[in-house]
Amino acid sequence: MQASDAPELEAHTERGLDVLFFCNPLLDISIDDHDASILQKYTLQAGQACLAADHHMPLFEEAFTKEGRQLIPGGSALNSARACGWAFSKETPGKGVVGYMGAIGKDVRGDALTEAVKKSNV
C-alpha cells in the first residue's frame, strides 16, 4: 500500500496509538460440514491438518462463499492485537488505542479481513 492509499489514523489519545503490532495477517474461515461432504470431497480427515495440494484449491472459494460461514481475523500478531483491543475495551473503554500493520490484497477477501478487524477494536 502506498502512503497515498493509506487511511488516515484517527487518534483517540493525545499520543495516537498506545500499542502497535505488525505481522502477516490471516483470514480464517469457519464453516459447518454436518454431513462431512466437504471432508469427503477434498479427501480431508476431521480434526487433522494437512498441506494444501492442487485438488484442495477450490475449497478456499467454496468456504469463503458458503452460507453461514464465519470470517475470523488471524495470525499471531493480529490475534495479539485483537486480544489487546478487547482488554482495552473492557478495562479502559474508549481510551486504549491498538494499531496493526500488515499487507493484504485489494480484493473481496482483503475487504472482509479489514471489516472483521474493525469490529475488534484494532
For 20-76, the pLDDT digits (tens) are: 999 999 999 999 999 999 999 999 999 888 899 999 999 999 999 999 999 999 999
In terms of domains, do 76 and 122 share one?
Answer: yes
In terms of domains, do 25 and 75 share one?
Answer: yes
Region for residue 36 given its phi and psi (left: phi exceeds 0; alpha: psi -120 to 50; beta: otherwise): left
* Number of domains comprising the chain: 2
The Cα 87–Cα 121 span in angstroms is: 10
In terms of domains, do 1 and 15 share one?
Answer: yes
The Cα 48–Cα 44 span in angstroms is: 8
Whether the predicted pLDDT of 1 surpasses 80: no
* Residues 101 and 24 sit within 8 Å (Cβ to Cβ): no
Query: What is the percent of the chain where pLDDT is above 90?
Result: 62
In terms of domains, do 118 and 77 share one?
Answer: yes
Confidence tier at 17 by pLDDT (50, 70, 90): confident
In terms of domains, do 56 and 102 share one?
Answer: no
For residue 110, the enclosing domain spans 1-30+70-122
